[in-house]
Amino acid sequence: MSGEVILRTKGLTKRFGGLVAVNNIGFDVNAGEILGLIGPNGSGKSTVMQLIMGIHKPTAGEVLLGGENVAGWPPHRIARHGIGIVFQHSRPLHRQTVLENIKLALLPDSLIKLAADPHVDRQAREIAERVGLGAVINRHPSTLAFADLRRIEMAKAIARDPKVVLVDEPFAGLAADEVKVFSDLIRDFRNDGRAVLLVDHNVKSVSALADRVFAMYLGERVTEGTAEEVMQNETVRRVYLGGKIETIQKDEAESEAKPPLLEVRGVKAFYGKAQALDNVSIEVKEGQFISVVGLNGAGKTTLFNAISGLVPYQGEIRFAGETLRGKTAGAIGRAGVVQCPETRELFTDMTVRENLDLGGYHMPPAETAKQLAWMFELFPILNSRQNQRAGTLSGGEQQMLAIARALMMQPKLLILDEPTLGLAPVILEQLSKALELLRQTTSITVLLGEQNVTFALPHADRVYVLEHSRIIWEGKPQRFAEEMGAGYL
Amino acid sequence: MIKIARSPLLWFAVIAIAVAALLPLWVSGYILGILTVAYYYGVFSMAWDLLFGFAGEVNFGPTFLIGLGAYGAALLDNAGLGVPLSMIGGTVAALVGGLMLALPALRMRGPYFGLVTLVAVLILQNVIVIFAHFTGGEIGMTVADVLSIDTNVNYWYALGFMVVCGIILFGLSRSALGLILQASGQDPIEAQALGFNVTKHKLAAFCISAIFSGLTGTMLVFYMGAASVGTIVDISIGVQIIIAAVLGGRRTILGGVIGAIFLILATEFLRPLGQLNTFVVSGVALLVILFFPDGMFGYLLRRGERG
């Protein structure tokens, strides 16, 4: 099936400041071949894609397109040289029709060509037919379904007639039958003899499509091979499932007997036309530690943002017996729901101490001092870093600071959204210890969202598994391994 | 072609231009004078919208380009070059000055381009005051020639000029170049990934905007017979141009004309209110921007799109 090498990366490396996002990555993609590039969030796979496209310039290494090194070229030159990209988010021109959006991709990069060549119109119509947009060709994007918006992105990539197609999360937000249609479109790329690079979070979603899979973790190559081989790989299993899943025995009867602090019932949420939450219900009792696990894009962050009043939703969310509907994000925060977002949102130009002080701003000074002392007990490293600018901390320290700042606000419910994002295993252990200490020393209620199961399970009283915007499993962490283990990867 | 001929917009525009051309038959010279200025402002707003609405770059200093054109033409005319050559010279001055500004500024991200254009206006103002010996400084300078001494002729010049500029700028906005510009303005990364040199296209938009702003500046100075900081370069003039464009409708080009005529006529008709007139007009402009962010013309277009 596979022909000559079209795209080859060699020693591709990218540093952002002190952070090594991509380290010495090298792979080949042949003509008529689909390579799946997988890795959990923060593994650097998207950065690799951006390096190939030229959106970021690599710190070192080569991107060879048909033998020519295009690393460091501006994106428009790389695009003209034969690399196309299908973005995950569709951002069409809204004032233009579907047809005009496709025509755009067929235009030359010229200032003086004011009218499109006549063949452009015919070509655009053919491409629209091919991706299944024939019926809506004269409509405006705002009137289209989500899958059709993705089809426009697909059509634009086809129009560019690239030798290499990069596809970012091809199936995000699509229903099962639509996944089939898009899989066929991607297979068509292969049948046309193009080299295809699929970038996704997990092996499962690309295994049916990819000829080979290249797995990354923390910027490094983990393994390469067929989908089955990669799924068997020890490191891959550890990255996604964790090694041995340990759980801490707790007095369940006691924790389940408490009154519920947070009740989420039948919540649905949409981003434009993409459904992010579908009938999600969870319950958190006072003092419990509840984990919501799910791969990236499953809907965890949307769920937390709905609870925090940051995204509109249908359904009911109650906190301490009162409905949160109609309350502003600020009011919800003051009621005691504090979210520690995955993006951390630190004030990077302020010192560690200033960040913490801002968290405790609403309290009397004596209280703040007490709270601060407790934070330094939980996270000793922050004590020695008090006067350092938050932006200069390592990823792990930043995460600790983000959690500490959230705790300074004395939350009743602490929501931690993917605290392990992009952190090295040794940091995870420190973080895990701090969470355990938090559990033992306070009666705080915690809702944790994670894709790293090993991290999420040990502390949890109960676990929910979120997949494709639905809760597909709920139960004790002890039962997770036997009931969910294999299906999760 | 048939599609264009069927467009209600075209017929509406033809009727509006015909009515405007016949206005001198009914309307006083005073009103004609106001409309003449409004038409020139309309071109300023259209040129500004090409840069903001399409290329996505906010130019807070349209009067920098206008001022270069106007003062350039005025200086050349006083040097004895005559009206046509002075107009060309002024336009070239605006283009060159604009390029000198845009080449470094367009490389910056976010609001910095806008800030650079704002500072450029202040610098131009200062240069004019410092070289008062040539430019008349704060008092202003008169030019030796005018377009015409007849109010009606001046009015028709302005109307004709606006119509021609409108056709060119609107045509550009609907051309392949306009499509690429919109893509570059809305999502530069995606536009680049589609193979378009975003910087090149934005620079082209800036040059086009500079040429039309500068040329209109020279027209204005030969209409008024004088150039002064307060009537041509001042930041408040730039703000009016921007408000007119937004009021009329971002990304519509023609909306700028409607916005400018509305803004200037309303200010004039409310003059009996004394100082309150600008207050009322600004209030109306604020309400339109808050509740119809697409602008007056944009709102009508958008309704057509949904249907």
As a whole number of angstroms, the distance between CA B285 and CA B270 comes to: 14
A212, A127: one domain: yes
- Name which of B54, B190, B203, B300 to mutate to probe chain A: the one with the most chain A Cβ atoms within 10 A of its Cβ: B190
pLDDT score recorded for residue B307 = 39
- CA distances (Å), B300 to each of A91, A463, B289, B294, in order? 23, 52, 14, 9
Residue with tokens 């919800």: A332
Contact between A384 and A375 under an 8 Å Cβ cutoff? The reply is no
Position B119: which residue type? V
Contact between B249 and B261 under an 8 Å Cβ cutoff? The reply is no
- With an 8 Å Cβ cutoff, the interface of chain B facing chain A consists of 171-172, 175-177, 179-180, 182-183, 186-187, 189-198, 200-201, 204, 251, 305-306
Residues of chain A in contact with residue B190, where contact means CB-CB under 8 angstroms, are 87, 91
- CA distances (Å), A200 to each of A35, A186, A291, A295, in order? 11, 14, 23, 11
Q: What is the ipTM of this complex?
A: 0.83
| Shortest alpha-carbon distance between residue A105 and chain B (Å) | 6
Contact between A35 and A86 under an 8 Å Cβ cutoff? The reply is no
A355, A215: one domain: no
CB under 8 Å to A365, separation ≥6 — which residues?
none
Whether A175 is in a domain gets the answer yes
pLDDT score recorded for residue A455 = 83
- Name which of B109, B179, B303 to mutate to probe chain A: the one with the most chain A Cβ atoms within 10 A of its Cβ: B179
A309, A217: one domain: no
pLDDT score recorded for residue A196 = 95
Question: Does A95 contact B251 at a Cβ distance shorter than 8 Å?
Answer: yes
- CA distances (Å), A195 to each of A31, A35, A164, A313, A382, in order? 5, 8, 5, 40, 48
Listed residues A220, A241, A262: the one ending a domain: A241
A132, A52: one domain: yes
pLDDT score recorded for residue A1 = 45
If one counts the domains in chain A, the total is: 2
Strand A33-38 relative to strand A212-217: parallel, antiparallel, unpaired?
parallel
Closest to A485 in 3D by CA, of A468, A463, A469: A463
Question: Domain containing B124: what range?
Answer: 25-306
Whether A247 is in a domain gets the answer no
Residues of chain A in contact with residue B180, where contact means CB-CB under 8 angstroms, are 104, 107, 109
As a whole number of angstroms, the distance between CA A417 and CA A434 comes to: 16
Question: Does B192 contact A116 at a Cβ distance shorter than 8 Å?
Answer: no
pLDDT score recorded for residue B122 = 94
Residue with tokens 């792990």: A396
A308, A225: one domain: no
A274, A327: one domain: yes
Residues of chain B in contact with residue A197, where contact means CB-CB under 8 angstroms, are none
Q: How many CB pairs under 8 A join A and B?
A: 75
Residues of chain A in contact with residue B251, where contact means CB-CB under 8 angstroms, are 95
Whether B261 is in a domain gets the answer yes
A235, A276: one domain: no
Residues of chain B in contact with residue A104, where contact means CB-CB under 8 angstroms, are 179-180, 183, 194
A234, A331: one domain: no
Whether B11 is in a domain gets the answer no
Whether B134 is in a domain gets the answer yes
What's the pTM? 0.78
As a whole number of angstroms, the distance between CA A106 and CA A178 comes to: 26
- CA distances (Å), A433 to each of A43, A428, A451, in order? 23, 9, 18
Contact between B251 and A95 under an 8 Å Cβ cutoff? The reply is yes
As a whole number of angstroms, the distance between CA A331 and CA A329 comes to: 6
Listed residues A241, A263, A297: the one ending a domain: A241
A201, A299: one domain: no
pLDDT score recorded for residue A246 = 56
Question: Does B192 contact A55 at a Cβ distance shorter than 8 Å?
Answer: yes
- Name which of A70, A80, A109 to mutate to probe chain B: the one with the most chain B Cβ atoms within 10 A of its Cβ: A109
Confidence at B214, pLDDT banded by 50, 70, 90: very high
pLDDT score recorded for residue A252 = 60
pLDDT score recorded for residue B131 = 93
As a whole number of angstroms, the distance between CA A227 and CA B56 comes to: 44
What tokens does A463 get?
Answer: 């676990």
Q: Widest CA span of chain B, in angstroms?
A: 60
Residues of chain A in contact with residue B191, where contact means CB-CB under 8 angstroms, are 76
Whether B1 is in a domain gets the answer no
Task: Give me the CATH number covering residue A373.
Answer: 3.40.50.300
Whether A246 is in a domain gets the answer no
CB atoms within 10 A of CB A364: 9
Dihedral sign computed on CA atoms, order B306, B184, A66, A225: negative
Closest to A448 in 3D by CA, of A407, A424, A416: A416
Residues of chain A in contact with residue B193, where contact means CB-CB under 8 angstroms, are 53, 55, 75-76, 79, 84-85, 87
Contact between A54 and A73 under an 8 Å Cβ cutoff? The reply is yes
Residue A56: closest CA among chain B residues belongs to which residue? B189
Beta-bridge mates of residue A351: A389
| Shortest alpha-carbon distance between residue B304 and chain A (Å) | 11
Contact between B51 and B209 under an 8 Å Cβ cutoff? The reply is yes
Whether B181 is in a domain gets the answer yes
Listed residues A198, A215, A241: the one ending a domain: A241
pLDDT tens-digit map of B77-93:
999 999 999 999 999 99
pLDDT values of chain A reduced to their tens digit, one per residue, 489 residues: 447 899 999 999 998 776 788 999 999 999 999 999 988 767 888 889 999 999 999 999 999 998 899 999 999 999 999 999 998 877 788 888 999 999 999 998 888 877 778 889 999 999 999 999 988 899 988 888 888 888 999 999 999 999 999 998 888 767 777 888 899 999 999 999 999 999 987 777 788 899 999 999 888 898 999 988 888 888 887 776 655 555 555 556 666 778 889 999 999 988 877 788 888 999 999 888 899 988 777 888 889 999 999 889 999 999 988 898 888 888 898 888 998 888 778 888 888 889 888 888 888 888 888 888 988 888 888 888 888 888 777 777 888 899 999 888 888 999 999 888 767 666 777 888 888 888 888 888 999 998 878 788 888 888 999 888 888 888 888 888 777 765 665
Q: Which of B179, B180, B192 minimises the CB distance to A75?
A: B192
Question: Does B194 contact A79 at a Cβ distance shorter than 8 Å?
Answer: yes
As a whole number of angstroms, the distance between CA A48 and CA A23 comes to: 10
Residue with tokens 């299944």: A132
pLDDT score recorded for residue B183 = 92
pLDDT tens-digit map of B278-302:
788 888 888 888 888 788 777 777 6
A237, A256: one domain: no
Residues of chain B in contact with residue A107, where contact means CB-CB under 8 angstroms, are 176, 179-180, 196
A174, A269: one domain: no
CB atoms within 10 A of CB A147: 19
Contact between B259 and B251 under an 8 Å Cβ cutoff? The reply is no
pLDDT score recorded for residue B150 = 92
Q: Report the 3 state secondary structure along chain A.
A: CCCCEEEEEEEEEEEECCEEEEEEEEEEEECCEEEEEECCCCCCHHHHHHHHHCCCCCCEEEEEECCEECCCCCHHHHHHHCEEEECCCCCCCCCCCHHHHHHHHHCCCCCCCCCCCHHHHHHHHHHHHHHCCHHHCCCCHHHCCHHHHHHHHHHHHHHCCCCEEEEECCCCCCCHHHHHHHHHHHHHHHHCCCEEEEEECCHHHHHCCCCEEEEEECCEEEEEECHHHHHHCHHHHHHHHCCCCCCCCCCHHHHHHCCEEEEEEEEEEEECCEEEEEEEEEEEECCCEEEEECCCCCCHHHHHHHHCCCCCCEEEEEECCEECCCCCHHHHHHCCEEEECCCCCCCCCCEHHHHHHHHCCCCCHHHHHHHHHHHHHHCHHHHHCCCCEHHHCCHHHHHHHHHHHHHHCCCCEEEEECCCCCCCHHHHHHHHHHHHHHHHHCCCEEEEEECCHHHHCCCCCEEEEEECCEEEEEECHHHHHHHCHHHHC
Question: Does A93 contact B186 at a Cβ distance shorter than 8 Å?
Answer: yes
b/e burial code for range A188-197 (CB count within 10 A of at least 16 → b): ebbeeebbbb
pLDDT score recorded for residue B43 = 97
- A321: phi then psi, degrees, rounded to nearest 5: 85, -10
Question: Does B194 contact A104 at a Cβ distance shorter than 8 Å?
Answer: yes
Question: Does B195 contact A103 at a Cβ distance shorter than 8 Å?
Answer: no
As a whole number of angstroms, the distance between CA A88 and CA A146 comes to: 12
Q: What percent of chain B has pLDDT over 70?
A: 95
Residue with tokens 């990366």: A9
Give the up-direction half-sphere exposure of residue A151: CA atoms within 13 A in the CB hemisphere: 24
How far is C-alpha A110 from the geometric centre of its chain's CA atoms? 37
pLDDT tens-digit map of B109-143:
777 888 899 999 999 999 999 999 888 888 889 99
Question: Domain containing A263: what range?
Answer: 252-488
The answer to which of B99-103, B185-189, B270-274 has the lowest mean pLDDT is: B270-274
Question: Does A79 contact B192 at a Cβ distance shorter than 8 Å?
Answer: yes
Our CA angle for A86, A80, A127, nearest 5°, is 50
As a whole number of angstroms, the distance between CA B4 and CA A472 comes to: 55
Task: Give me the CATH number covering residue B76.
Answer: 1.10.3470
Whether A123 is in a domain gets the answer yes
DSSP chain B: -HHHHH-HHHHHHHHHHHHHHHGGGTS-HHHHHHHHHHHHHHHHHHHHHIIIIIT----S-HHHHHHHHHHHHHHHHHTT--HHHHHHHHHHHHHHHHHHHHHHHTTS-TTHHHHHHHHHHHHHHHHHHHTHHHH-TTT-EE-S--S-S-HHHHHHHHHHHHHHHHHHHHHHHTSHHHHHHHHHHH-HHHHHHTT--HHHHHHHHHHHHHHHHHHHHHHHHHHHSEE-IIIII-HHHHHHHHHHHHHH-TT-STHHHHHHHHHHHHHHHTGGGTTHHHHHHHHHHHHHHHH-TTHHHHHHHHHHHH-
A56, A157: one domain: yes
As a whole number of angstroms, the distance between CA B158 and CA B257 comes to: 12
What tokens does B127 get?
Answer: 């240069």
What tokens does A65 get?
Answer: 């397109």
